[in-house]
Amino acid sequence: MKKPLFHNPMYIYLMVLTITVSGGFHVWQTLFDNFAVNVVNLDGQHVGLIQSVREIPGFLALLVVYVLFVFKEHRLSALSVLMLGIGLAATGIFSSFLGLILSTLVMSFGFHYFETTYQSLGLQYFDKNIAPVVFGRLRSYAALSSMGTGVLIFILAAFLSYAQLYLLFGVLVTGIGLWAFSRNPASTDIVPQHKKMIFKKQYWLYYMLTFMAGARRQIFMAFAVFLLVKKFDYTVQGIAVLFFINNSINYFLSPFIGKCIVWFGERKVLSLEYLSLIVIFISYALVDSWVAAGFLYVLDHVFFNFAIAINTFFQKIAHPADIAPSMAMGFTINHIAAVVLPAVGGLLWLIDYRIPFIAGAGLSLISLMLVQCITGQLAAAQTRL
């Protein structure tokens, strides 16, 4: 299996860009809360609002369908990496609330549009039996990239300012984005994709799972690290250590998760994820130990990898020509709650920081009930397709 993958130009292309985007976003994510609190002097409400703004490009991912009239999908991936690098470099330069909003928007357009095209290209170029394994391996490489950047941040934070760190890594990401424009990994053998909006009632479960995953993800992204910094006084080096532990685990675990999806199916894998998240979110609200809080964060991050199963489930029920526009639509649905929830959660945080985490447990319970419908959806798809 390994030899054919490494001889596939699209696999190599996605691998390089995934490593780049993961490393770049890891830098932004690792530094952001400490930068926001210690340099820009923001509070929970400000951070929540910026996190909501960060999700606007994800909400606008449906526009990818129209951008594909101008760019081929792999070219859009390269442009997205370029934008992420520019936004990353600008983050430390514009060190104000408004400046962070603007640089975050640019960075986020790059990140979200790459994620949309990366998932779409992966589902188009690799069949149902190997796609989970491919995504598992790519996530493993992403974890390795994040480990590497985490080590560099840990070392360089003692010598460079936040602005210098953002600029250094932003320039590196931008350079690889430019390189990607010189590559052409596309094949003429894949099914041509519809260049229009796709919204079909037979995909309702995929839409619902995607919506719920977006809401759950935002509670983690916006408030888990903020909890560690605000309540437990984690430093930037401490956050970097946690990220390193996360990615060390995911480097080995992600390929195994991909295989588990092949072996056991999406319903069982996702059921395990959401059952575990109920416990994790309730624990966030109750924890009083900095060690226990860090352990919960690591455990929470591990379960992000299980989301592969939502997309591979969609691949099994979708018409092949629907994949690219449906990935764009899925990203928009994923971010409906994401645009609103961090800002609302920031206000609720001011009342009681535990409220957002209790809400996360409730969302996980709803998701657990929804995934039990997967078996019936797969049976219906076999009849339809």
Nearest-CA neighbor of 160 among 92, 96, 97?
92
Domain ranges of the chain: 2-384
What was the pLDDT predicted at 384?
67
What was the pLDDT predicted at 1?
43
Q: How far apart are CA 335 and CA 53, in angstroms?
A: 11
What was the pLDDT predicted at 138?
92
- Whether CATH 1.20.1250.20 fits 2-384: yes
Nearest-CA neighbor of 135 among 334, 273, 308, 5?
308
Which residues are within 8 A (CB) of 207 and not within 5 positions of it... i.e. 6 or more apart? 329, 330, 333
What residue type is 112 in one-letter code?
A: H
What was the pLDDT predicted at 338?
66
What was the pLDDT predicted at 264?
92
What was the pLDDT predicted at 4?
65
CB atoms within 10 A of CB 31: 23
Q: Contact 269/260 with Cβ under 8 angstroms?
A: yes
End-to-end CA distance of the chain: 27
Residue identified by tokens 């997205």 is 80
Q: Cβ-count burial of 90 within 10 angstroms (0-12 exposed, 13-18 middle, 19+ buried)?
A: buried
Answering whether pTM is above 0.85, one says no
Q: How far apart are CA 221 and CA 29, in angstroms?
A: 9
* Exposure string for 272-287, b = 16+ CB within 10 A, e = fewer: bbbebbbebbbbbbeb
Query: For residue 246, what are its two tokens?
Result: 């996360």
What was the pLDDT predicted at 151?
84
- Write the CA distances from 359 to 144, 300, 341, 381, integer angstroms: 32, 15, 10, 33
What was the pLDDT predicted at 194?
72
Mean pLDDT by 10 residues, the chain (385 residues): 68 94 90 80 75 80 83 90 95 85 93 91 88 90 88 87 91 95 82 76 91 83 80 79 83 90 92 94 89 89 87 90 85 76 74 85 93 91 72
Q: How far apart are CA 239 and CA 37, in angstroms?
A: 14
What was the pLDDT predicted at 345?
74
Q: How far apart are CA 173 and CA 179, in angstroms?
A: 10
